[in-house]
Structure 1
Amino acid sequence: MPIGAISAHGRNEAAHYVMPLLGVGRAFMRVEIVPPGSATARLHSHSAVDEYYLVLSGRALLRMGSHELEVGPGTLIGKPTGPDLTSHLVTSLGESITVLDMEIWPDRELRSKDIVYYPDQHELLWRGEGWRGAQVFSSLSSAEDLFQHYDDGYVRQDDGSWRSANIPGTAPREPD
């Protein structure tokens, strides 16, 4: 493994991140070889991380939002932050691809809070300093429920339900 690089997610993979130790600041880059029938990552978006892909070799299918496009060597894909622009590369065309995956973080220490949205799995990943966890959509409550009961005393359960609670400054929530 080259100096200043770590394997992705601590796994034995054909991908290495080039870290800011090399002087690139908030940019984290890795070269990833993706075999046929696989993908660069789950279809996802970031709330705080800009992401770019440069296809170095091979052909793949780019899924970006609701669109699909065949891409090949020299294709540069830019994906700014935001929940509406999901993307990933799928090697469904019978060949592997080599991709330079670049992430631009708000800070060089990776302490920024970032919500990663995975629409295919109906999951959210909460990452950053003080945040560690994933949540499925079915455990989320509606914004209307939150605002209707904003001043009520209750605690949310892991399954998305709630229980009445004695919280200073709030009246206990009554069953709906």
Structure 2
Amino acid sequence: MVNILNINNIPDEYTIDFLGKANTSYLGKAAGSDKVYINIDRILPGSKSAKYHSHTKQEEFFIILSGYGTLRIDGEEHLIKKGDFVAKPAGKGIAHQFINTGDDVLEILDVGTKEYGDIAYYPDEDVYYLSDENLVFHGNSKLSTWDSEPNK
């Protein structure tokens, strides 16, 4: 079945609000996409798109639809504005986050691959998130006596 929808009339169940500071419309999910996600993220002035993070398997592409702000990516900050776009390859440890430093809503088309087994890493907090398992680990809880030798 093919779902033809209009961007100005996304069913409510496909838009999520984040504390009144941002929201995401899940266009790909609404249309029935299996292998890629297509979202529109709207970030209010002074707010952030997500915590600063990277992915082990998920590749992403972003284009700024309106507004301006700051893209924090790979340890640097870049001013971004309407029409700018950037790709974030998978598995290279490139952390990223959008910050609305402007006066209007920052609207971003966010497209990426859906990857089973993807691990998100949040370097500011040294936290790992295994989304498929909904498990979170702190990097400080490293084991100093464990090794992979099965015959000890």
After TM superposition, the score normalised by the length of structure 1 is 0.69
CA contact (8 A) 1:125 1:135 kept: yes
2:45 aligns with one of 19, 24, 36: 36
Q: How does 1:40-119 map to 2 (within 5 A)?
A: 40-106=49-115, 112-119=116-123
Report the alpha carbon displacement of residue 96 of structure 1 after superposing the two structures with TM. 2.8
Residue number in structure 1 paired with 2:6:
none
CA contact (8 A) 1:36 1:91 kept: yes
SS at match of 1:39: coil
Report which stretch shifted further, 18-27 or 119-128: 18-27
> In 2, Cα distance between the equivalents of 1:11 and 1:103?
24
Q: Which amino acid aligns with 2:141?
A: S
> In 2, Cα distance between the equivalents of 1:99 and 1:135?
29
After TM superposition, the score normalised by the length of structure 2 is 0.79
Q: Which amino acid aligns with 1:70?
A: L
Q: Which amino acid aligns with 1:126?
A: L
**1:50-95: CA deviations, max 9, x gaps?**
1111100111111111111101001111101125211111112444
Residue number in structure 2 paired with 1:141:
143
Residue number in structure 2 paired with 1:132:
134
* 2:10 corresponds to 1:6: no
> In 1, Cα distance between the equivalents of 2:90 and 2:138?
21
Report the alpha carbon displacement of residue 3 of structure 1 after superposing the two structures with TM. 4.7
Runs of 5+ unmatched residues, structure 2: 1-8
What is the aligned-residue identity percentage? 21
Report which stretch shifted further, 91-100 or 75-84: 91-100
Structure index of larger Rg: 1
> In 2, Cα distance between the equivalents of 1:3 and 1:63?
31
Seen in structure 2, the aligned counterparts of structure 1 residues 124 and 9 have a Cα distance that, compared at 3 Å, is: farther
Report the alpha carbon displacement of residue 150 of structure 1 after superposing the two structures with TM. 3.0
> In 1, Cα distance between the equivalents of 2:87 and 2:24?
20
Runs of 5+ unmatched residues, structure 1: 107-111, 152-169, 172-176
